[in-house]
Chains A and B, each alone.
Chain A
Amino acid sequence: MDTHGNFGQMYVAGNATVQALTTTSVKCDDWDGHLSTPAGGATADSGTGDKITVNEPGYYRATLTACLLGINGSTDTVDIRKNGTASAGVIDGTAVDQVFLTNSLTHVVSTHAIVHCNKGDDLSVWLTGSGSHNITVTDAVFTVERIG
Chain B
Amino acid sequence: MRIFGQLYTDGNSTPQSGVTTAVKCTQWEHGYPTRDQWGVTADETTNNRLTINHSGRYRIEVAGEMSASALSDPVSVIVYKNGAALTRATAKVTVTANGDYFTFAILAFDECVHGDYFEVYIASQASSNLLLENGTFSVTCVGPREDR
Contact = CB atoms under 8 A, between A and B. Distances in A.
A96 interface: yes
27 contacts: A4-B2, A59-B2, A59-B4, A59-B33, A61-B4, A61-B140, A92-B8, A92-B10, A92-B30, A93-B9, A93-B30, A93-B64, A95-B65, A96-B64, A96-B65, A96-B103, A97-B101, A99-B100, A99-B101, A99-B102, A108-B103, A112-B61, A113-B136, A114-B32, A114-B138, A148-B1, A148-B38
A134 interface: no
A94 B103 CA distance: 11
B9 to A, nearest CB: 6
Interface residues of B, number: 28
A116 B38 CA distance: 13
B128 interface: no
A9 to B, nearest CB: 16
B30 A111 contact: no
B63 interface: yes
A98 B101 contact: yes
Nearest to B62: A112
A4 B64 CA distance: 26
Nearest to A93: B8
Interface string A60-85: 01010100000000010000000000
B105 interface: yes
Given A93-B134, A95-B65, A111-B64, A147 B105 contact: no
Contacts of B2: 4, 59, 147-148
A74 B61 CA distance: 28
A110 interface: yes
B90 interface: no
